[in-house]
């Protein structure tokens, strides 16, 4: 499939601007095939107006039709073949195996959404039947169901060029809800974005979706994303990336004459607390698995464990030595792009200069900056040192973590209280530890979106129950997830119908329940029709 570097606005291609940018291979620093055009404000406007013009038609498509569309996206994505994987690898430095894993994750999650909307319970249909004999006032017929809100702006993540980008849960969950989507492609992997977008557009034509249900705009400048979020026809936005980028767009969304929800998944330190029982049982295994988690994907996961706290003891000292020894074997590897590499290098330099930190261990092999390579680093500090160096409570994106020596439960609780909101918090321990250290667990329940026991936060299980979000700044709204089927709830709102004729109600609220979905009728869950 040939790349053009143009905006894909419905079924049309557009290149209004002569302002272009290349796609760069981070390992070589060289430009890749195809130059990409910066989107203009007029092009963003055309995409948003086109999406709005087809919203009513798209939302009224039966769930079966939207599910067919999503499954066609899966088929067209797989049909892209090796060219797609090779482009993603060239633009990010990810190995082909990692890109294959991402593609399969995106496809499997999309199929999950297709099944969810076919089944129908996600729409939370509720019916309270009337009672004309009720005194002193008759009870009306009241029914509600979740309905789509309109065109959605999606921003691709730099670290997941396939699974959290054009083909990610933000786009697919919006389609599942019945919302058209405009994606702002990530400039670091513009070619991957265009290939994925073309697969979606081909699937839309195959399944007779209205033109405008999907568009892709590209650009390096902040203006393109700002225009998109500011556009009055955009009803919500979804973003995965840095705190600075997410907060800037969140502020834009809030400053609109009519504010819109902006669901941003941002920075997170993902603390790990290692309790005494776990160290006594398996400190070597924990050390090895921890280093693997810190260095996986060159540390470029939003769930990378950036802080590891434990209580000072002989076992903790042995554990620290094991971590230092194991991290030395990590071979430096290429990061996603020069911007991330420069930020990581700068962050490491600041940590090396900090009086509160000791470099406990690092890669034996030096990194090659010309290839955007990063070595791995493990630092050590005390609980007081952590409190004196607040930057340690901020995400440093890359293969780095800090061990924190604590005096006891009170120190662990103090660290947990000091944490900002985080996507995850991990506890290693025995069941007895969980009783003894319960005050720590109570704090972590307030701070984290996902609590992990005797595991690691990297490698999110994409399923119905998963929650990938957390209190600010991990996410802009802790009630919602950007992974898993609950992601659909970001792009719908409840609409209530009072005393409406049955024939004019949404299908999920009609007496006959023609799709056979689960409904809450007078407080009881049932699939039965109303006689």
Q: How many helical (H) and strand (E) elements, i.e. helices and strands, does the chain have? A: 15, 23
What does the pLDDT read at residue 391?
87
Q: Is residue 396 pLDDT above 90, yes or no? A: yes
Residues annotated catalytic, as ranges: 265, 302
451 burial type by CB count under 10 A (0-12 exposed, 13-18 middle, 19+ buried):
middle
**Residue whose tokens read 């009609």:** 510
What does the pLDDT read at residue 6?
98
127 burial type by CB count under 10 A (0-12 exposed, 13-18 middle, 19+ buried):
buried
What does the pLDDT read at residue 458?
94
Between CA 440 and CA 446, with CA 445 as vertex, the angle to 5 degrees is: 105
What does the pLDDT read at residue 402?
97
**Residue whose tokens read 């004459």:** 257
HSE of 339 in the Cβ direction (CA atoms, 13 Å)? 10
DSSP 8-state symbol, 302: T
What's the pLDDT tens digit per position in 443-489?
Answer: 999 999 999 999 999 989 999 999 999 999 999 999 999 999 999 99
DSSP labels for 105-151? HHHHHHHHHHHHHHH-GGG--EEE--BTT-SSSPBPPEEEEEEE-S-
Strand, coil or helix: 275: coil
What does the pLDDT read at residue 226?
98
What's the pLDDT tens digit per position in 309-357?
Answer: 999 999 999 999 999 999 999 999 999 999 999 999 999 999 999 999 9
If pLDDT is split at 50, 70 and 90, which confidence band does 395 have?
very high
- Sheet of 377-382: strands edge to edge? 358-362, 377-382, 400-406, 307-311, 272-274, 422-428, 448-453
What's the pLDDT tens digit per position in 35-77?
Answer: 999 999 999 999 999 999 999 999 999 999 999 999 999 999 9
Q: Is residue 1 pLDDT above 90, yes or no? A: no
**Can you tell me the distance from the alpha carbon of 149 to that of 490, in angstroms, rounded to the nearest whole number?**
9
| C-beta neighbour count of 242 within 10 angstroms | 20
Question: For the CA atoms of 28, 34, 37, 43, what is the dihedral angle to 10 degrees?
Answer: -130
If pLDDT is split at 50, 70 and 90, which confidence band does 107 have?
very high
Q: Is residue 425 pLDDT above 90, yes or no? A: yes
Give the start-end residues of each E strand in 454-529.
492-498, 519-521, 524-526
């Amino acid at each position: 499939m040939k790349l053009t570097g143009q905006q894909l606005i419905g079924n049309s291609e557009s290149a209004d601007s002569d302002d272009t940018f290349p796609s760069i291979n981070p390992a070589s620093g060289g430009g890749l095939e195809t130059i990409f055009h910066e989107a203009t404000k007029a092009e963003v406007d055309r995409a948003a107006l086109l999406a709005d013009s087809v919203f009513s038609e798209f939302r009224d498509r039966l769930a079966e039709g939207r599910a067919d569309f999503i499954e066609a996206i899966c088929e067209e994505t797989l049909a892209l073949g090796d060219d797609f994987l090779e482009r993603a690898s060239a633009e990010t430095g990810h190995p082909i195996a990692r890109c294959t894993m991402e593609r399969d994750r995106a496809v499997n999650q999309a199929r999950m959404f297709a099944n969810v909307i076919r089944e129908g319970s996600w729409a939370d249909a509720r019916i309270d039947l009337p009672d004309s004999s009720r005194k002193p006032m008759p009870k009306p017929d009241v029914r509600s169901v979740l309905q789509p809100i309109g065109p959605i702006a999606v921003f691709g993540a730099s670290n997941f060029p396939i699974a959290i980008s054009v083909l990610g849960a933000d786009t697919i969950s919006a389609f599942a809800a019945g919302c058209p989507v405009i994606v702002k492609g990530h400039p670091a992997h513009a070619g991957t974005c265009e290939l994925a977008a073309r697969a979606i557009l081909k699937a839309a034509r195959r399944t007779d979706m209205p033109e405008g249900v999907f568009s892709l705009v590209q650009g390096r400048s902040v203006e393109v994303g700002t225009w998109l979020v500011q556009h009055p026809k955009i009803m919500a936005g979804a973003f995965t990336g840095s705190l600075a980028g997410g907060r800037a767009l969140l502020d834009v969304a809030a400053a609109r004459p009519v504010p819109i929800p902006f669901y941003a998944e941002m920075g997170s330190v993902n603390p790990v607390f290692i309790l005494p029982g776990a160290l006594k049982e398996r400190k070597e295994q924990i050390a090895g698995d921890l280093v693997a988690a810190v260095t996986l994907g060159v540390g470029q996961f939003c769930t990378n464990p950036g802080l590891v706290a434990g209580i000072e003891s002989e076992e903790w000292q042995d554990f620290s030595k094991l971590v230092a020894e194991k991290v030395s074997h990590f071979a430096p590897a290429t990061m996603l792009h020069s911007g991330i590499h420069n930020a990581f290098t700068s962050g490491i330099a600041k940590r090396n200069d900090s009086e509160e930190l000791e470099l406990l261990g690092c890669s034996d092999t030096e990194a090659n900056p010309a290839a955007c390579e990063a070595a791995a680093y493990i630092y050590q500090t005390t609980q007081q040192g952590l409190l004196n160096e607040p930057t340690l409570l901020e995400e440093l994106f890359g293969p780095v973590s800090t061990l924190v020596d604590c005096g006891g439960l009170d120190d662990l609780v103090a660290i947990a209280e000091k944490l900002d909101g985080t996507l995850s918090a991990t506890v290693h321990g025995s069941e007895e530890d969980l009783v003894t250290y319960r005050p720590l667990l109570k704090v972590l329940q307030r701070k984290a979106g996902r609590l992990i026991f005797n595991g690691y936060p990297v490698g999110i299980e994409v399923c119905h129950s998963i929650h990938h979000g957390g209190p600010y700044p991990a996410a802009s709204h802790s009630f919602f997830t950007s992974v898993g089927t609950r992601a659909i709830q970001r792009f719908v709102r409840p609409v209530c119908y009072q005393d409406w004729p049955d024939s004019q109600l949404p299908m999920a609220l009609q007496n006959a329940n023609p799709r056979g979905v689960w409904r809450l009728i007078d407080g009881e869950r049932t699939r039965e029709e109303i006689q």
